[in-house]
Amino acid sequence: MTAEWVSAPAVPEAGEAALMARVAAGEEAAFRLLAERHAPPLLRFADRMLRNRAEAEEVVQEVLWRLWRQAGRFDAERGRLATWLHAIAWRLCLDRLRRRGADLPLDAAAEARDAAPSPLDLASRQAEMAALAVHLAALPERQRAALTLFYHQEMEGPEAAAVLRLDLRAFWSLLRRGRAALRARMRGD
């Protein structure tokens, strides 16, 4: 048995703050556990924001690189690790969207994927999801981010507000405007 196999059972029992301390100390097993835990939701978020799987994967790689390099900066008293990582992903996505200049054409937005739907679900909801993706992609980026964090990432309001660096009241207002704009677009207003 290698030392890695011997120490592996201790990793799942540790809390995220303890895991981050271990990552800060250079422990790869703790990093791998956190990466496995947080990469899938980060990829779903980045994919919905960027509407480009390759770019989303690059964003997640950058987030994980920063997790490894800046683990010592994480302060569990200031918030959850998922919030910290999503905030990094949000800023990276925003940078990429700004570099693009203008929004992508609606044709590109229709290619956005849902997070692993079943074949039956895909068959029954394909047209509805495609329309929703197009209308969601056409929203301003902050509204799209608020809706994605709250509904698709299932973040609580305070956590999503922290990701977007808003106070809670401003987040709820942004979310309300995003829902209204999405409803209006879906109705064809």
Whether 94 contacts 141, CB under 8 Å: yes
Distance CA 41, CA 38 (A): 6
Amino acid at 140: P
- Residue burial 6-20, b: 16+ Cβ < 10 Å; e: rest: eeeeebeeeebeebb
* Per-residue model confidence (pLDDT) at position 189: 66
Q: What is the pLDDT along the chain (189 residues), one digit of tens a residue?
A: 333 333 333 334 348 899 999 999 999 999 999 999 999 999 999 999 998 999 999 999 999 999 999 998 888 888 899 999 999 999 999 999 988 875 444 444 444 444 454 565 555 567 777 777 888 888 999 999 999 998 888 888 899 999 999 999 999 999 999 989 988 888 886
* Per-residue model confidence (pLDDT) at position 119: 62
pTM score over 0.85 = no
- Which DSSP string do the residues of 35-68 spell out, in sequence order? HHHHHHHHHHHHHHHHS-HHHHHHHHHHHHHHHH
Measured between alpha carbons, how far is residue 138 from residues 31, 69, 81 in Å?
A: 36, 35, 30
Measured between alpha carbons, how far is residue 46 from residues 64, 83, 145, 153, 180 in Å?
A: 13, 14, 10, 11, 23
Q: How many Cα atoms within 13 Å fall on the side-chain side of residue 132?
A: 13
Classify the C-alpha dihedral 57-104-94-186 as positive or negative.
negative
Amino acid at 77: E
* Per-residue model confidence (pLDDT) at position 100: 83
